[in-house]
Amino acid sequence: MRKIGEKIYELRYLLIILSVCACYAGILYNQTMPFAEGWYSYYAKCINRGEVVYKDFDYLFTPLYIFFIALITKIFGYKVIILRIVGIIFFCLIGTFVYLSLKELFNEEIAVIATITSVMYMQSEVVQVFYDYVRMMDIFSCAATYFLIKAIKNDDRKKYFILAGIATSLFILTKQNMGLLFWIYSIILICSVSLVLRRSVKEKLIYFITGSIVPIFITIIFMLINGSLIPFFNQTGGEAVAAKGGILPILFNWIINNMSSFINTSKFSIICLACIIVSAIIKKKDEKNAINKQWLRKSEIYLFGILCIISFIVFAKVDRISKLLDGHTYLSPYSIFLIIIPIFIYYVINVIIDAVNNKEISNYKLLYITITGAYFAISWGCGMSGGLSEGQGTLGVAFAIAILLNNLEFRFSNVLKLAVILVCFLLTLQCAAKKMNYTYNWWGMDESSLQESVYLSNDIEVFEGIGLSYETLNAYETVYHIVTQNTDEKDSIYCFPQIPSFYYICNRMDPGVRAKVQWFDVASDKSIDNDIKILKNKPPKAIIIYETSEYAYNSHEKLFRAGEISATRKMKQFLLNFATQHGYTFYGRIKSTKNNSLLLYYKTDNDFSEEYSYRGKGTKESPYEIDSVEDLLFLQRSVENGNDYSNVYFIQTKDIDLSSIDNWNPIGKYDSGFYFRGIYDGNGHVIKNMTCIHEGENVGLFGQLGGIVCNLGVINSYVSGSCVGVISSHAASSEAMIINCYTTSSVINGLRAGGIADNFEGKIVNCISINECLGIDAAGAISYGAGYTKNVISQIDGIHTEIINSYGDNSVTYCTQKYMLSSEVINRLNSYIDIVNKYSSNYLEDEQDNDGAVTEKEYDEWMRRITLRYWKTEISGYPTLTIGELK
């Protein structure tokens, strides 16, 4: 018993860390269920039913984690709570290796404070769940760092080189790019340390490389046997690189793309770095008088751990308290990078100088280089996926705190030390509060807070024991019931792009596609193209689409595609078209939390014959062609069925007469949430004889526009309602734009009557209106207002309102018929187009000038999407657009 007691006493600090980690993870483990959780459970289900990863379906990462989850689910089943328990173990293991690493460099008390703070900072990365593959990667990266530290500190103990090699190998087998980068760093470190210490490197490298080879060799043999080795190399090599745009963009673009983050955090980083430097200088000068109050440190440690646990419990019960510490400013991983890298560089240079001058090299310098270099390699690898994150900042935060506390070992430093510990405690609580209040956020996909997630599902078996918010539970159960009621277990469904959890929630399989997850950097173009063919040949009975934000699409395409359309966007557009073309029933939009929504389509029969389709591909080079009433009706129906056509191109190739439609239903019903967000180029053609009479504000060619309409004329129409506009009554966002359009010979009747638009949040540019506008409160080209109006001209004849001079947007130029018939209008409109079409970065005028000049930002936004048609005079003398040609 005495020996057991002594052992427990020796491990007392580690037990504190494990208690804090287990308590916190245990509070969160059985609540919330993000839509994006469950990738690996479905991968595992595919493996456990006989599919071979790489051979039968795509996986662009190395296989260790996917095999691990397949094993866990094979033994324990697919209930989410099982993997959440695994997550608690993961979190504790990370804390253990961070603590063991710091304990080799600093005293135990400092190691505890730094470890608890850093692992809590790590989990504040609300992108990950505790058992995510990234957390397994963190285990191996921290373990590899620990064994490297032990190897450098005790270079005669060869087992540590072997263990470091094994841990690094497992790191590679979890995520290849970061693991390989760490492996290269480890080789350089071992060689460099041996060189400066003038010791043999050969034996150490042999041990390290042997440790690295063994797990990889076993994995290769296994894949060779099951026939997946060649596709493994193809997918984790070329296809994985291609999915992110190539080697050079992967290695370096993240720095350029995140330069603003570095700049914004630089001041704070400089202050923190200055504190570390100044404290180190003072400590060195006052080294003889340094004091060591061990009792104070112990009391601080015990109190620190106990207060953390109590705070976590209180936060979980009372959200008002957790929100007190939930600020808008958090410690940025870019700050950590700017703090640690200079320290790493300093010690590298210092050791080189000592080696050149034949001075004895302090062991602590080599250990500092080991841990800061490990952080550097891990962070750079993390950056290659788009940017730095809290999750991979663990070692950096831990070292920064530890070295600062270690420096505070001089006279009168206890107050400063307590201040640093207090800051660490507050940072720990803030990170805990952040994760409880914002349990998940990834590319706009969020989840409810911990306190809201208290409802249990009685229907979904795999959710047993998992608390969800009312909205989230309702969304899951709605999808579950619709899918299970309208399909049977033999039917396939298709989930896009990052929600494969619905496969195992509904106990359905996919149609045999290769990309089980179609997210940007985890699915290759080749597989997406292949899967489109599979979906055409084996149509699923239900399609579930998560409405990924346009920000996510644009950001990934900017990061990895140089702005070109991604395969993920291509699949999205295919699915939305496919559902409408093949007669799927559109259940509607299923809302969860404020940023989460799903579109659900299902078939009530087995007739998958194509009902309708556009000509063209929807790209800028080959836009969808609109040349008939049927095309416009299909566009209207598609938008109503959830297809927003974001960044999809349309071109009108003929004039279209809507006289056969008794009462036109606008494209994108006002306030419906379903709006057109593509680019509609009228190409100089007109839509004529439109009758659109509705109560309220859902009136116009578009009810509420979210995209761009350009080069279009709408003529000889009758529009009547409340607050109305001929082209679009309203904008869905400030990104909407009506540019280079005209409306003539139409009658607009309403409370507010707009010849072009009414209340339009977006931009209206280079347009004319010649109509009879009859409004009670206001009438004119823009009868209420626009977010941005420029070079819009309206003939004042025919505008009538019961309130005198109430024309709406006062940026519109109102003129007489004589002026409208003059050449000045044509010249003014075409001069604007000349400026836009000839624009260069060297030609920049203030956007408020009246000559029609545009800013560089406007130019970039418009001209990469559209080409403006020039104006001419028609037979009547009024302006009209040229058709399908440039001047």
183 or 237, which is more confident? Answer: 183
Is the distance from CB of 703 to CB of 740 less than 8 angstroms? no
Q: Among residues of the chain, what percentage have pLDDT more than 70? A: 92
pLDDT of residue 563: 76
- The pLDDT mean for the chain works out to 89
In this prediction, residues 694-702 reach a mean pLDDT of 91
Each residue's pLDDT tens digit, 366-384 = 999 999 999 999 999 888 8
Q: Is the pLDDT of residue 347 over 90?
A: yes
For residue 517, CA distances in Å to 5, 83, 175 come to: 51, 19, 17
In this prediction, residues 138-165 reach a mean pLDDT of 92
The angle subtended at Cα 298 by Cα 293 and Cα 304, nearest 5°, is: 125
Q: Among residues of the chain, what percentage have pLDDT more than 90? A: 66
Token pair listed for 458: 């009685």
Each residue's pLDDT tens digit, 267-298 = 999 999 999 999 999 888 876 655 554 445 67
Q: Is the pLDDT of residue 425 over 50?
A: yes
In this prediction, residues 666-681 reach a mean pLDDT of 93
Q: Model confidence at 720, in pLDDT bands (50, 70, 90)?
A: very high
pLDDT of residue 322: 76
884 or 591, which is more confident? Answer: 591
**What strands lie across the sheet with 493-496, from one edge to the other?**
493-496, 542-546, 597-602, 585-591
> Which residues on neighbouring strands pair with residue 743, listed in sequence order?
714, 769
In this prediction, residues 55-70 reach a mean pLDDT of 95
pLDDT of residue 287: 66
Window from 276-285, 567-576, 719-728 with minimum mean pLDDT:
276-285
Each residue's pLDDT tens digit, 581-622 = 898 999 999 999 878 999 999 998 877 776 778 899 898 889
Each residue's pLDDT tens digit, 506-546 = 999 999 999 999 999 888 888 999 999 999 999 999 999 99
Each residue's pLDDT tens digit, 484-503 = 999 999 999 999 999 999 99
Q: Is the pLDDT of residue 854 over 80?
A: no
Is the distance from CB of 642 to CB of 589 less than 8 angstroms? yes
Q: Position 141: which residue type?
A: S
Calpha distance 486→500 (Å, rounded): 19
Q: Is the pLDDT of residue 388 over 90?
A: no
Calpha distance 763→756 (Å, rounded): 12
pLDDT of residue 678: 95
Q: Model confidence at 839, in pLDDT bands (50, 70, 90)?
A: low
Peptide bond preceding 500: is omega within 30 degrees of 0, i.e. cis?
Answer: no
Strand ranges in 334-443 using DSSP code E only, listed in sequence order: 441-442
Q: Is the pLDDT of residue 861 over 90?
A: no
Q: Is the pLDDT of residue 851 over 50?
A: no
Calpha distance 515→533 (Å, rounded): 12
Q: Model confidence at 89, in pLDDT bands (50, 70, 90)?
A: very high
Is the distance from CB of 151 to CB of 169 less than 8 angstroms? no
What CATH class is the domain 624-881? mainly beta
166 or 562, which is more confident? Answer: 166
Q: Model confidence at 845, in pLDDT bands (50, 70, 90)?
A: very low
Peptide bond preceding 540: is omega within 30 degrees of 0, i.e. cis?
Answer: no
Q: Is the pLDDT of residue 853 over 50?
A: no
DSSP 200: -
pLDDT of residue 189: 96
pLDDT of residue 2: 53
Q: Model confidence at 850, in pLDDT bands (50, 70, 90)?
A: very low
Task: List every span in the chain annotated with CATH 2.160.20.
Answer: 624-881
CB atoms within 10 A of CB 246: 13
720 or 803, which is more confident? Answer: 720
